[in-house]
Structure 1
Amino acid sequence: MKVEKIFHLHNQTIFKYLYYLLNDETLAEDFTQETFVRYFNYQQSIKEGAQLAWLRSTARNLAYDHFRRKRLIQFVPFLQQHEKQSSPSPNEWLMQQDAKILYLAISKLKITYRDVIILRKIEGLSIEETCEVLGWNEGKVKNTLKRALVALKKQLGGEMDEEL
């Protein structure tokens, strides 16, 4: 498949994933671009149908390298706090507050827990897709997600919808 087609199919997905991890639009844009540059350089060695998993793994590695370089393994909630909006209804306001509490709790989890929650629960990837991105087996994904949800529940004071 041509690089242009892969880019148009997946650039928003990769950008969004990086933005969730980094909470920095400029860095997410830069790393999205770098991800596709690397795809261009290695496209011959990537299996047909595995492009998105390869792109997510590469994006994840770029973000982790950034964290290591900065000695900053910290997840910052990715809510748009500076977004100008009209006054939300009481229901919308409560939902926004719940989301802030949830993302703050996620930010306090260890990075592997954050990653599996983002991929499985926020991005909605299947177990198989998550295995491909993280390079883990199915059992590790399931166990880590289970532990992550328990840790998240603990961060939230024991109050969490089982469905998340």
Structure 2
Amino acid sequence: MFEEQFYLHNQTIFKYLYYLLNDEKLAEDFTQETFMRFFKYRQTIKEGAELAWLRSTARNLAYDYYRRKRLIQFVPFLNDHEELEPNLPHQWLIQQEDAKKLYLAISKLKLTYRDVIILRKIEELSIQETCDVLGWNEGKVKNTLKRALVALKKQLGGEFNEEL
């Protein structure tokens, strides 16, 4: 069970931590720590909820790190589906600037807003998966996402497309 879960989810957890931490070495270390905790508590984790448990643990490790550092930041990145055509370098520059502007605006939001935007819009988790990771009910996820998108729109000065 442990090896199977590790091979299924280690890249997902690493990517999530990298988005939160913007540091490859820390993301690797925290991914390892996440799976060490998974191994330790595997008997208590409900079958089928392993990925939610792993994401929650990874998130908690990252937040603990930032609390210790007293530093909260957000990481700019592009999803795989946002790859650019190689013949359009100017398009790449425009997208990079747009991404920087978007992620800078997200970084100014409160943590709960950041969480729900990362999980729902960037990681593209379902509402139920987001509920499982954050420990919230469906209504709270929906309402927080709605408020987060409004706050993001304000941060961007009205230049906002909800599709992210």
TM-score (norm 2): 0.91
Cα root mean square deviation, aligned: 1.6
Q: Displacement of 1:61 after TM fit? A: 0.8
Residue equivalent to 1:109: 109
Matches within 5 A, 1:13-162: 13-72=12-71, 74-79=72-77, 89-162=89-162
Residue equivalent to 1:83: none
Q: Displacement of 1:77 after TM fit? A: 2.6
Q: Displacement of 1:92 after TM fit? A: 1.9
Q: Secondary structure at the match of 2:68?
A: helix
Letter matched to residue 101 of structure 2: I
Question: How many residue pairs are counted as aligned between the two chains?
Answer: 157
Distance 1:35 1:126 in 2: 22
Contact 1:120 1:127 in 2 (8 A): yes
Letter matched to residue 34 of structure 2: T
Distance 2:38 2:117 in 1: 25
Q: Displacement of 1:163 after TM fit? A: 2.2
TM-score (norm 1): 0.91
Distance 2:74 2:8 in 1: 27
Contact 2:38 2:54 in 1 (8 A): yes
Letter matched to residue 126 of structure 1: S
Contact 2:52 2:129 in 1 (8 A): yes
Residues 7-57 of structure 1, C-alpha deviation per residue, up to 9 Å, x if partnerless?
Answer: 010000001111111111111111100000000000001111100000000
Contact 2:121 2:163 in 1 (8 A): no
Gaps of 5+ in 2: 79-85
Contact 1:31 1:59 in 2 (8 A): yes
Distance 2:145 2:24 in 1: 27
Tell me whether 116-125 or 86-95 shows the greater mean CA deviation. Answer: 86-95
Q: Displacement of 1:76 after TM fit? A: 3.1
Residues 131-150 of structure 1, C-alpha deviation per residue, up to 9 Å, x if partnerless?
Answer: 00000000110111111101
Q: Displacement of 1:97 after TM fit? A: 1.1
Q: Displacement of 1:68 after TM fit? A: 1.2
Q: Secondary structure at the match of 2:151?
A: helix
